[in-house]
Amino acid sequence: MSMTKNPLTDEIKALIGMTAEKVEASPPWGIEREGLRIFTNAIMDPDPRYWDDAFAKTTRYGAVVAPPIYCSYIGRKTLAGTEDPITRAFRENPNSDGIGGVRDGGPDQKGSLPPVPTSLKRILNAGNEIEVYKYPVLGDRIYSQAKYSQIQGRITKDGTPMLVVTVQTTYTNQNDELLCILRASSIRR
């Protein structure tokens, strides 16, 4: 009778605690008003703390702020002057799903963790954690640092091997002040 092996190999265990290079997540202009407007409209949040300077000055934050979760999206922008990633992806694969090839070689490759060496290819979102410490303000430059905070191996009841991989990303500003911590867990099976 063959036994399914736990997929948590020594090579994968060695990744736990590994920290990637700290990189600037924001574009060169940092947190700016127009990007913030587009983002807060998309989450349907009309909070004047995000756009009304006069009101924001009366709050405990003293200035217009941005939602901390915004930090995790500003690094995904395609900067002006770079090769259009969408055109490239569809040239290489006319049936591109819009993800594969679009981000390859893009700005979010900086500060990446090495891939988990596993034959388990299917990836499912297992959940997210967010800790909030400070709101970014207009003009802030945002830095991120990723880390494999936990990797667990399991065999399900039906004998399927799986890994639960948790990546923690810490966001700070140009003064090294902690803004927020995100943990994203994925299942590999």
By CB under 8 A, which span of 95-103, 136-144, 145-153, 159-167 interacts with other proteins? 95-103
Question: What single-letter amino acid sits at 108?
Answer: D
Question: What's the rounded Cα separation, in Å, for the pair 111 and 18?
Answer: 12
The reply on whether position 150 binds other proteins by CB under 8 A is no
* Residue with smaller CB distance to other proteins, 96 or 152: 96
Give dist(CA 121, CA 160) in Å, integer. 13
Among 63, 131, 156, 174, binds other proteins (CB under 8 A): 131
Residue 108 CB, nearest approach to other proteins (Å): 10
Q: Does 177 bind other proteins (CB under 8 A)?
A: yes
The pair phi, psi for residue 97, each rounded to 5°, is -85, 0
Task: Verify binding: residue 45, other proteins, rule CB under 8 A.
Answer: yes
Distances in whole angstroms, Cα of residue 181 to Cα of each of 20, 24, 37, 94: 15, 15, 23, 37
Q: Which stretch binds other proteins (CB under 8 A): 2-10, 18-26, 44-52, 152-160?
A: 44-52
> Of 17, 105, 117, 127, which one interacts with other proteins (CB under 8 A)?
127
Q: Is 61 in the site for other proteins (CB under 8 A)?
A: yes
The residue from 66, 102, 165, 167 that contacts other proteins (CB under 8 A) is 102
In this structure, are strands 161-173 and 178-188 parallel, antiparallel, or unpaired?
antiparallel
Nearest to 128 by CA among 73, 171, 183, 166: 183
Query: Strand 161-173 and strand 23-24: pairing?
Result: unpaired
Q: How far is the CB of 188 from other proteins (least distance, A)?
A: 16
Shortest reach from residue 75's CB to other proteins, in Å: 10
Q: Are 74 and 143 contacting, i.e. CB atoms less than 8 angstroms apart?
A: no
Tokens representing 129?
Answer: 């954690």
List of residues contacting other proteins (CB under 8 A): 38-39, 41-49, 52, 55, 59-61, 67-69, 73, 76-78, 86, 95-99, 102, 125-134, 177-178, 183
